[in-house]
Structure 1
């Protein structure tokens, strides 16, 4: 078996999508994963057939009756032979089954365990069913997601589950890294709630000075979708330095909106007259040419322009195929399917060729023979430390998707040095977004092109465990920090490159900015609703790319622990965007499965999974599973049409059922319905209809759980941001540190490099550092 995780043993007791998605990623990269399901197969195999065709690939299946003592003993025996165990039961269920933390530690103190719940193990929502829709309703996504009517907008992309799967994987990999040092097995806990926050983090920041997220269309930043003359859509983003002015030149508007004079142009306000031009005249200009002409014009001007494609059209695009991001898997239930391939490329330890999801019980009987007991080192004890304490990361990236990965590493205890140009990261113009991507790091600002700083550059490379960046192809080499240059100085370095499109291929030199890569893979149509123009997704490839990049980094570190060897790792943003739509597949005859589920009004996916207006607000219902639908049927009783007596709600036409439920729910207030349905065991909540940024970040409960943090600031008085989204036993997670000011640690880092204070002062006088 190949892959950076070859030899790792994983027992997967999870259900739903987040847990199986997480362990699918582990299996794709070499782990031996067994999915534990009840005799006869888990009911989710039918209800989530499309998801499971992807998320169960490369795994084995073992059927076990967990309601019997013999079954629990069988699983505990497997866990004792394993490295990792994952579960996604509601809080308390594992303990009732006899598979709680105490039972696992008694049998397998070396194991890293992971729990993925809906809303976490404590807090006011711990017992709310962990349904994707309910998470988005309560966390505030439905108030964030743009729509064609006022909020709430049902979320069309499952990024809470995706985020939880990435967080769970990162936590487990970090715990394994520390276990390889001290021999201690740890428990990792996260949730779909945390998974949603991992994406919303980019948008959420709060200060006492009132500084908040920028208002689209108010600054010198164009980031929107345009309809072209051929009725196709194009996403444009001018976040690159100078791109706003270059777009104005292409559109012949420079006399009315002159070019800017700062690297942080996206934070500079427009005049009211200029804002009107951007809002009204520019869309009209794009209607004058077909999309392919605009792509050519803007590409030649080095302005980010990306076509917004419909479902699975990206599977046929040359760059996607060049990256190897589409694989065919012969699923035993759905037949031959084109699926999204694993998103990360390891030069020295390539991922596993995908095998189809197992049939019920397939491959499980050989586990006892295959998983022979292994000698485990005795725990060394000592004080609790952060899992990545001692790991040094050199972050050469800019904007969001690249730097977000090292930020997540800093959250886990790594020492991250952010090397910036003298002008600073262009994203500094948008404080909320910048702070989200850069929390916990140290900043050095230097002119790395200067020959006088060659020794500093060499020191930073030679002392890094990881180098991470997202520069455009060729830029790192010109600065002397390309992979070959770095490996010559530091052969053991884990070099993680996160380009937009890839390091090679027909589109590798194109610009990429979120959320346009989501548009390229069809995500903008997924959140817009059927038949609607594309809409920017709240959960996009910027945070998604950072999460995948963090996992790439951790896998590279684990592989180096086992082999002593560094390697080149590539994690393109387009690959991460595709991984975000991995729940969508295509049959050999071209039929697409799992796409375009959201209705045109952006109410939901079906009558049993959607938003409903009530007498005084809104209700979010998530009763699509047979058990929940039966509970709803029992709760409503004779209030449903008489002709449906005895019928299962899942068998009734969705439009007819939606009309009937809509009439019922409109007759009473939201609080009454939530109380009645919750008491009857029906998953239903009142969705948030206003942005939750300040409410969430100032909530003492969220600060207690460390999901939110508050720090003092010289200008903004108090600054608040999202903090830890993982909990881990026997680990001291670092305190929240606000993103550094430009060059805040330059002197400190240069002293560590062996420079004298006099040399540092001289460099400052020469304007080589700041």
Structure 2
């Protein structure tokens, strides 16, 4: 692989592939890759090699071309507006090197009205609506800056999946192609069900009430999820994130807090949907008081004694690598850097047979390697006689995946692969995956994660039901098993059992914590993994402090909730993208004759990977830029500002952008001529004064006018959407830009859904809708040789359910 990327999205993608064994060579200019300025660079660049070449130099460009002639994949992150300056137009490279897979990762994609916008993560977060959804992070009204780079993670892993799919296609045709991903659809992959919640509200405005915000402006509970997902401090001021979301877990929770008798009083008859702020706050305070009555050690003993209690300590990203499960699984490693010394960091996202998928190597020095020293041979990518330039079709056509899992973090990984053509048969219990009932409108909760799948309802707790699964497994290529701990082994659907039936099977196990270890038996939910991984504290700016008083306790709890529990961006989505990439690694490895046994990912491990810029530790490590206390942004040139009718986000932080920006602003303020801001160092020193000057200017005009005028001057600026990302992305603007597409489902008929995360120059994708419970059971039973009489008998005996 040749890696031209200079953004976090590109670094995530190539780091993952290097971790899986790809030979990644970075092309770096004399000043080095800008990613080396980030404290997390030793992890982001690990396992790669580096050559020093100047893409503006004709001779070096010729060297790059010779390098590409011997490569399989090229990865770039330059936006379309300036790609030509560096000779990095993806289509041109593909034309010169038809064997090559060229991956382009950009902020906005190569089509649509925003294709030439600057690709800063915060611009995407703001325009799509995520900063609006995260407003609970700040005590002031309005949107809030988001620290975790969810969109970059989504775009990176979409690129990984597209690259591997293209390589599979190339093995058939001999031809490479261009594959694109972007931050917008990468961000859209994070949300489990709010898209369809918003769609239902829009279709039937008088039939359903919008889901309430969890807290009001006074930090009083509004939504019922505050109770099962309680964030609370212990007696010794350690904050815990509880996750008691099912009826069974909630009963255990109320019992542990000694509140079952209290619940019998008539005033609580509507619990958990309590009707007034006063009642909700009173109940909340009782829960908080009971948590605060015990120390962290007391709570740890209670958690150890009761498997139906689930809670995690709020950890920093660095401290998350000390999590007992992380230590047990060996998911934190130490690499020796020749200049930095030992660098502690997460291990590979995929583990195989209980170990990292490859042996990790430290990041290279800039220009450490020479092209002539690379052990790459001249191109052997001859085009077969049957090769043609037409569409190949769906790259995963013919691949069958059997999915055994529930909810989102694992199953959505398989959903992503249906867009690439994989057939995914979802084994559901007879009453369906719990996610189907997460919203008031029937099936809306599971609509997104069920897209493109076939539902086969089987009771696998029975011997007869398991035999049906075994019959299915005989003709499958992949099994995705989302069971935690030893439950798959107890259910007799573990890897050893399944491979005894089909030795060629690819099996990926994914769960919250893993198959063995101190936390393996625990259920995992996005908020608890957010706390354990450090994500919640990262997004909430380290909110978990000892509360000064009751009001401070309330507001801290609200901020921590916003840190890790907002549906639009959370750990479920991060983990799901990792699952999809791991599935693709298994499929590609098998196609190359490599068997990966005991292949596993975890929610905790995947989120730690996503936070690698923040959780590395080494001597002399600097700090990542942090949001200001009011969550406007990082500095005066990368932050939220009020406009006359709402908010804008400005992203012009680079010294090279200053002149263009100040010229564009010259009619509204004179910051370009102000000696206080004449140099980058002075702008840092006088950041508050610069922000005040810009705030006064931006308040004079409407947000759409600012976006239009500044974007026309190539300044990063967007109007902040003040609606949910779920409704923004399916709106007309995003539909016309290609971020959403038309689809059809048996429940919602014609509707818009998130577009496939990958766009190919040759291969195709599809965008199917969801399925009803057991919709495909009968057809699948016929495939394994049962006649209608046998199927009817199984349905009557409650072994299967046919929709």
Fold match (TM-score > 0.5): yes
User: Which consecutive residues of structure 2, in runs of 5 or more, have no partner in the other structure?
Assistant: 215-221, 265-269, 545-555
Q: 1:467 to 1:650 in 2, by over 3 A?
A: farther
Contact 1:118 1:192 in 2 (8 A): yes
Decide whether aligned partners of structure 1 residues 517 and 701 sit closer, same or farther in structure 2, where only a CA change above 3 A counts: closer
In 1, are the aligned partners of 2:608 and 2:615 still within 8 Å (CA)? no
Alignment partner, residue 261 of structure 1? none
Q: 1:460 & 1:705 partners in 2: Cα distance? A: 36
Whether 2:455 is the aligned partner of 1:423: answer no
Q: d(CA) in 1 for partners of 2:167 and 2:475?
A: 23
Alpha-carbon shift at residue 765 of structure 1 (Å): 0.8
Equivalent-residue separation in structure 2 for 1:275 and 1:721 (angstroms): 35
Q: Does 1:736 align with 2:768?
A: yes
- Alignment check: 8 A CA contact 2:184 2:739 kept: no
- 2:75 aligns with 86
In structure 1, how many angstroms separate the alpha carbons of the residues matched to 2:209 and 2:450?
Answer: 16
Q: Does 1:77 align with 2:66?
A: yes
Residue 398 of structure 1 corresponds to 406
Pairing 1:689–2:722 present: yes
Partner of 1:580: 610
Number of the residue aligned with 1:264: none
User: 1:463 pairs with 463, 472, 475, which one?
Assistant: 475
Match of 2:463 in 1: 451
1:250 shift after superposition: 1.9
Match of 2:159 in 1: 168
Equivalent of residue 597 in structure 2, options 547, 560, 567: 567
Structure 1 unmatched runs, 5+: 1-9, 259-266
CA contact (8 A) 2:706 2:719 kept: no
* Deviation (angstroms), 1:531: 4.9
**Following the alignment from structure 1 to structure 2, what is the Cα–Cα distance between the partners of residues 105 and 664?**
45
Q: Where do 1:486-635 residues align within 5 Å?
A: 486-531=498-543, 533=556, 534=560, 535-537=562-564, 538=566, 539-563=569-593, 565=595, 567-588=597-618, 593-595=622-624, 597-635=626-664
2:123 to 134, 150, 169: 134
What secondary structure sits across from 2:656 in the alignment? helix
Normalized against structure 2, the TM-score is what?
0.87
C-alpha change, 1:155 and 1:218, in structure 2 (3 Å) is closer
The 5-angstrom pairing of residues 57-72 of structure 1 reads 57-72=46-61
- The answer on 1:153 being equivalent to 2:144 is yes
Matched ranges for 1:305-316 at <5 A: 305-316=311-322
1:743 Cα offset (Å) = 1.0
Structure 1 residue 630, shift from structure 2 partner: 4.3
Runs of 4+ in 1 over 6 A off after TM superposition: none
Partners in 1 of 2:615 and 2:223 — Cα distance? 39
Match of 1:749 among 762, 777, 780: 780
Q: Does structure 1 conserve the Cα–Cα contact (< 8 Å) formed by 2:30 and 2:52?
A: yes
CA distance in 1, matches of 2:800, 2:69: 54
Deviates more, 1:628-637 or 1:86-95: 628-637
Q: Distance in 1 between matches of 2:514 and 2:603?
A: 8
- TM-score between both structures, scaled by the size of structure 1: 0.90
Report if the CA contact (8 A) 2:676-2:683 is conserved.
no
Q: 2:232 aligns with which of 203, 221, 226?
A: 226
CA distance in 2, matches of 1:676, 1:454: 63
Aligned partner of residue 448 in structure 1, secondary structure: coil
Secondary structure of 1:337 counterpart: strand
In structure 2, how many angstroms separate the alpha carbons of the residues matched to 1:320 and 1:439?
32
Partner Cα separation in structure 2 for residue 339 and residue 508 of structure 1: 22
CA distance in 2 between counterparts of 1:235 and 1:644 reads 45
Deviation, 1:244, is 1.8
Displacement, 1:417? 0.6
Residue in structure 1 matched with residue 218 of structure 2 by the alignment: none
Contact 1:328 1:338 in 2 (8 A): yes
Pair 287,718 (structure 1): closer, same or farther in 2 beyond 3 Å: farther
Retained in 2: the 8 A contact 1:20–1:55?
yes
1:324 aligns with 2:330: yes
The aligned length equals 749
